[in-house]
Structure 1
Amino acid sequence: MTENRYEQPITIHEAVENIHKRQYLLPGIQRHFTWDTERIERLFDSIMRDYPINTLMLWHITDPELKRNYQFYDFIRNFEENRSGGTRNEICSTTGQDDFDAVIDGQQRLTSLYIGLMGSYTAHKKNKSWSKSGNFIKRKLYLNLMKAADSNEDNLIYEFKFREPSDADEKLNDGDFWFPVGNIMAMAKPGEDNDKDDYADDHQLPKAARKMLARLYRVIREEHSIVCYRQNDQEPDKVLDIFTRTNSGGVPLSKSDLIMAIATSSWPELREKVETLTKDVWNDTGFSISNDFILKSFLVIYSPGSIRFKMKNFDQPQIKNLQEHWAELAEVTVHTFSFLKNQNFSNDSFRAKNAAIPLMYYFQETGLYQTCAKTTFSTKEPTAGITTDIIHWLTISFLKNIFSGQTDKLLRDLHDIIKQYGTNRHFPFSEIIREFRTTNKNYTVDDDFLDQILDYRYQRPGTEYVLRLLQGAINPELNYEQDHLHPKSVFGNKKELEATFTNNEDLKFAEDEANWNSIANLQLLEKISNIDKSNTPLAQWASNPSVSANLYIPEGTSLELKDFRAFIEARRSAIRRMIKEAVTQ
């Protein structure tokens, strides 16, 4: 394999000919052409002024498998504006084709050169209807050879302009001579018939115009102004990495953006379907999901091998696989986020979106995605136990930041555990804990960790997760909120506290916010029940038969305010024991 290297510079004429002969093509990672006529005109002005054109980056394609499995596109020659942005590149079949170069950096510049020298630009008249053909004007690029060489207010010296072809072109008229720039491509070499000098003689061009025509010929036909770096390595992902680091097309692209472009090149409807799915999830559940999330979900659920964002994971057979499973993937996605919404998670409180992917796989693998969003899913056996295990797994994952950092291996391992142990009557929470015990993603909770989370305070980050861990499955038809068991109001009443606590140490304990405003005095309560509770003393409220929540208060523990210290200590111990049991099953 020839090493990657800079090639000998070539002329603009050679580059455009390479496009025309399909020696240069565009890979699926490239975006649509976006330059307008003014930007193209400015490019040609820069070329005439000998400003450098940035290096082109080429990927030399020799591998038959790449030619067969990846989509490549022709350059646009005749661009037409439309409501959707304009002419799109057409697919070019490369199966069995001779070796060629895929342009991975330089698309906008090369397309502009191709349009200016061999094509046209059809523009829409501003503020006119898009439905009438008369509101579109087909223009070609011209250079006014009679323009004086002094810069104007736009800092342009040469008057390049996209104009409608007319009989007045190529004639001296009112001090102007509009030369079709594309004609320079067919002019003969100096000294041969029909060269630039013959053209100047035939049109009786004055000296200044002859000089400008000669300059145009030189910068297009003679100057070796285009420098190319050729990547000969046939490994697609190396090229993808190079593209993300060097692309100069404007807004930087992530690998997932590029993968989406590749996938869309093989399945044009994909982008619209992804947009529809993200809107459906947002409208139905209030969760926002990204292209990255959707593509990763597909790999985890339906791809048997690697789940990394690599080009080979999105070749044409894989995109066909995605297309075949799209309807189910979309349904699983919507239902999973509906389940999370019903379980009182929100876009803000669901700390790591990737944590939804193993859950989606579990629902898809077991078929439970068809019922998981229903209100009955979390309130009736056997799904109540499944829901509680899911909540325990999610909340411990969030509390321990299991989904921080790189998650590909984590997602693949979770997939394998769910596939082996998950059933429609069992979510494998205990198996996940066991299998991850010796990894850096373990769910172990030591005493230091427990002390830390038990000190979380009312409505602070992490508190919701600890309370969700205690609550387990909730009734989706009810709203829940954090509140204090011993009412918060009593701890702001110094006189009442001094009257209640005769022991000074007990008084200081009750006054300390770290005790009355922390997990040991907090609970997720049904909103209606919480309204009823309000400032009611705990002992009185808990005696009501309608209070059904598991408060994790050991039997025999006094609920009277005067015994607050013993209550907090007993409840901390009970919560500590519950969490340890949950992650050591």
Structure 2
Amino acid sequence: MSFQTPRSIEEMLTAIHKREYLLPAIQREFVWNSDQIAKLVDSLMRGYPVGSFLLWNVEPETAQSYTFYEFLTNYHERDNPYADKATVPTGSGTTAVLDGQQRLTALNIALYGSYAEKKKYAWWNSVDAFPTKRLYLNLTDDPDDEELGLKYDLRFLTDKEAAAEDGAEDKWYRVGAVLGLDDSGPAIMDEVAERGISDYRTAARRLYDLYRAVRDLKPMNYFLVTDQDADKVLEIFVRVNSGGTTLSYSDLLLSMATNQWQELDAREEVRSLVAELNSSAGRQFSFSKDVVLKTALTVAGVDVQFKVKNFTQTNMAKVEAAWPETKGALLRAASLLQQFGFNERNLTANSVIIPMAYYLYLRGAGDSYLDSTADAVDRLTLQRWVTRSLIKRGVWGSGLDTLLTRLRDVLRTNSTSRFPIEAVETAMAAVGKGLVFDDAEIDELLNLKYGGQRTFAVLSVLYPGLDLGKKFHEDHIFPKSRFTRKRLAAAGVPADQIDDYLNSVNLMPNLQLLAGTANIEKQDALPAQWIEAAFPTSEKRATYIAENDLDNLPLDLEGFPVFFAQRKQRIRTRLVTALGTTSQAESAHQS
């Protein structure tokens, strides 16, 4: 390993775009966020050191044995989060980046590319959820975000956001445009003059700092590894990646599998499956490659822990052999979760899909399982177990590998055409993950709020007759829009009771699941009025009221407190019946 002559950022990125530098398959995916990229550019503009880089000189005969990837230029969190596979011509070698991929990719995006991440609260499949942004430098103003600790105001903006309004100073300079300046003198002065900036000196100074950081200085110090022994290179790779954004075992597993699978490309297979799980067939989930890989280990029958000792060639061969079955089982499990009414917002633990997929794999379930009449009872059993495990706190948290191993054992031992719920729950209780609820937990569930992570799951347990494969909304029985101090007072609610109304409106006793269209039509109508209009016969009205615990529904807001208290008691009884309690279990044991 030898130290090489330092290079400028421009020189390093030019080499990347000439495909002189590639990424070995043992590298993780790009994981930096937009703030980290801005901080890196800020550090370089200040003249700070940014660490050394480690490159591997891969000779032609070695290069043909490994998979390499290009550098990512235009990052899109949903559509293009991964680098493309590279082609190394037969008889050619390459230079692989062992340490520094995140920094080099960040600089490549900052100067040559773009960054598109999901807007907060936007849906994953929305057309406008991922605006394309490029890195810009503010030539006139100082940063207004003290938490980032930047000296220069560097931000990822859309081109529209960066454009100057008519008559205003054109202060946002695209960072990548610095590569097109002819020089660091007249060209900078001309650029600032064309932008109509009054604080000429500040703007010129900042643009010069950027030019100097990218094109004049040579901060890119790197070492070159020439050893062709793959085991030694892997050891070096693991050691140098012990800092920064920690290399997870799932990253290492995926990297090693890429080189060890014989027929399939592990990285491409996992990438495409994650995308299909999350957004195909109307699904909206956020499963990670960790979940996919953990499922693959489960199905293959090897140790599910993400530890290097488990990533042997023998284990990877088992994972590859079982991959088609793993993929099919995961996709069917995701479809079931969708049918159960879950999505990325209310599925509180993604790991629940792992034992679901393993069960479907064991019984050889095909696509017909998803809607066949013969399997309807089994689907309902599986749904109840999934939902209860998501409602119970702590099931899918610590000790996950122990739980998954225990579940795999009991499912394999009790492999039948029916989900062995009793055996599964007994095994879970043995490792401290029992699904029995005590009275305090039941009371806690009654105080869950509208939009809470577990609220949907509890409502689906309370009212199991709904076809949750259709779109259902969490709905306020008494509309929230009527619960303002002004409207409550106008409705005759005494002043000393208004706070009680406001504190109750978002709680479980005032919530129900309502089909999306019906919820839109309901708007802010009082429940008694809406039911009268929505159900044409007294029989249908009576059925709806009974199924949703809406007995003694008052005609106005003054009767809300009594209705709230009565419904709270009724749904408490339902929860005790549906979930079971420790007191029930103790009574059964004593008898």
Match of 1:560 in 2: 554
* 1:4-40 per-position Cα deviation (integer Å, ceiling 9, x unaligned): xxxxxx999xxxxxxxxxxxxxxx98449xxxxxxxx
| 1:335–1:370 contact (8 Å) kept in structure 2 | yes
1:416 CA displacement: 2.6
Superposition map of 1:346-361 within 5 A: 346-361=343-358
1:476 CA displacement: 5.2
Match of 1:448 in 2: 440
Pick one of 502, 514, 520 that aligns with 1:513.
502
Pick one of 525, 532, 550 that aligns with 2:514.
525
Pick one of 412, 417, 421 that aligns with 1:424.
417
Q: Is residue 362 of structure 2 the alignment partner of residue 365 of structure 1?
A: yes
Task: Assess, with a 3 A threshold, how the Cα gap between structure 1 residues 11 and 356 changes in structure 2: closer, same or farther.
Answer: closer
Q: Aligned partner of 2:254: which letter?
A: M
Match of 1:294 in 2: 292
Match of 1:85 in 2: 86
Pick one of 541, 552, 572 that aligns with 2:568.
572
d(CA) in 1 for partners of 2:260, 2:421: 38
Pick one of 337, 341, 365 that aligns with 1:340.
337
* 1:54-86 per-position Cα deviation (integer Å, ceiling 9, x unaligned): 999xxxxxxxxxxxxxxxx97559999998435
d(CA) in 1 for partners of 2:69, 2:500: 71
d(CA) in 2 for partners of 1:473, 1:301: 32
Report the aligned-residue RMSD: 5.0
Task: Assess, with a 3 A threshold, how the Cα gap between structure 1 residues 382 and 567 changes in structure 2: closer, same or farther.
Answer: farther
Aligned residue for 2:324, secondary structure, equals helix
Task: Assess, with a 3 A threshold, how the Cα gap between structure 1 residues 523 and 337 changes in structure 2: closer, same or farther.
Answer: same
TM-score, normalized by length of structure 1? 0.54
| 2:428–2:434 contact (8 Å) kept in structure 1 | yes
Match of 1:253 in 2: 247
Match of 2:474 in 1: 482
* 1:267-315 per-position Cα deviation (integer Å, ceiling 9, x unaligned): 1522222222223223332334333222110111221x42112344332
Pick one of 371, 380, 383 that aligns with 1:387.
380
Q: Is residue 429 of structure 2 the alignment partner of residue 437 of structure 1?
A: yes
Q: Aligned partner of 1:320: which letter?
A: A
Counting matched residue pairs gives 389
* 1:83-125 per-position Cα deviation (integer Å, ceiling 9, x unaligned): 84353999xxxxxxxxxxxxxx99679xxxxxxxxxxxxxxxx
Q: Is residue 402 of structure 2 the alignment partner of residue 404 of structure 1?
A: no
Task: Assess, with a 3 A threshold, how the Cα gap between structure 1 residues 255 and 489 changes in structure 2: closer, same or farther.
Answer: closer
Task: Assess, with a 3 A threshold, how the Cα gap between structure 1 residues 263 and 566 changes in structure 2: closer, same or farther.
Answer: same
Aligned residue for 2:497, secondary structure, equals helix
Match of 1:271 in 2: 267
Match of 1:40 in 2: none
| 2:388–2:435 contact (8 Å) kept in structure 1 | no
1:466 CA displacement: 1.9
Larger Rg: 1
Q: Aligned partner of 1:258: which letter?
A: L
d(CA) in 1 for partners of 2:217, 2:498: 75
1:359 CA displacement: 1.0
Task: Assess, with a 3 A threshold, how the Cα gap between structure 1 residues 156 and 580 changes in structure 2: closer, same or farther.
Answer: closer
| 2:270–2:289 contact (8 Å) kept in structure 1 | yes
* 1:404-463 per-position Cα deviation (integer Å, ceiling 9, x unaligned): 2341111112223333446434x3444444433354433332232222221122224432
- Range that drifts further, 387-396 or 272-281: 387-396
1:369 CA displacement: 4.5
Superposition map of 1:232-247 within 5 A: 244=238, 246-247=240-241
| 2:446–2:508 contact (8 Å) kept in structure 1 | yes
* 1:341-383 per-position Cα deviation (integer Å, ceiling 9, x unaligned): 232211232222111111111222223342344xx35xx5651
d(CA) in 1 for partners of 2:376, 2:400: 28
Task: Assess, with a 3 A threshold, how the Cα gap between structure 1 residues 257 and 546 changes in structure 2: closer, same or farther.
Answer: same
Aligned residue for 1:523, secondary structure, equals strand
d(CA) in 2 for partners of 1:81, 1:279: 19
* 1:160-209 per-position Cα deviation (integer Å, ceiling 9, x unaligned): xxxxxxxxxxxxxxxxxxxxxxxxxxxxxxxxxxxxxxxxxxxxxxxxxx
| 1:417–1:431 contact (8 Å) kept in structure 2 | yes
Pick one of 321, 324, 330 that aligns with 1:324.
321
Match of 2:212 in 1: none
d(CA) in 1 for partners of 2:527, 2:308: 63
d(CA) in 2 for partners of 1:403, 1:310: 20
| 1:29–1:258 contact (8 Å) kept in structure 2 | no
Pick one of 280, 285, 290 that aligns with 1:283.
280
Aligned residue for 1:520, secondary structure, equals helix
Q: Aligned partner of 1:448: which letter?
A: A
| 2:447–2:507 contact (8 Å) kept in structure 1 | yes
Task: Assess, with a 3 A threshold, how the Cα gap between structure 1 residues 75 and 549 changes in structure 2: closer, same or farther.
Answer: farther
Q: Percent identity?
A: 23
Match of 2:459 in 1: 467
| 2:348–2:454 contact (8 Å) kept in structure 1 | no
d(CA) in 1 for partners of 2:266, 2:464: 38
Match of 1:537 in 2: 527
d(CA) in 1 for partners of 2:218, 2:444: 66
1:519 CA displacement: 0.6
Q: Aligned partner of 1:363: which letter?
A: L
Aligned residue for 1:344, secondary structure, equals coil
Task: Assess, with a 3 A threshold, how the Cα gap between structure 1 residues 472 and 486 changes in structure 2: closer, same or farther.
Answer: same
d(CA) in 1 for partners of 2:61, 2:289: 26
d(CA) in 1 for partners of 2:476, 2:567: 13
Aligned residue for 1:307, secondary structure, equals coil
Superposition map of 1:123-138 within 5 A: none
- Unaligned runs of at least 5 residues, structure 2: 4-23, 29-50, 55-59, 71-83, 101-214, 586-591
Q: Aligned partner of 2:408: which letter?
A: H
Q: Aligned partner of 1:469: which letter?
A: V
Task: Assess, with a 3 A threshold, how the Cα gap between structure 1 residues 407 and 108 changes in structure 2: closer, same or farther.
Answer: closer
- Unaligned runs of at least 5 residues, structure 1: 1-9, 13-27, 33-52, 57-72, 91-104, 110-152, 158-219
1:473 CA displacement: 6.2
Match of 1:175 in 2: none
Task: Assess, with a 3 A threshold, how the Cα gap between structure 1 residues 523 and 245 changes in structure 2: closer, same or farther.
Answer: farther
TM-score, normalized by length of structure 2? 0.54
Aligned residue for 2:514, secondary structure, equals strand
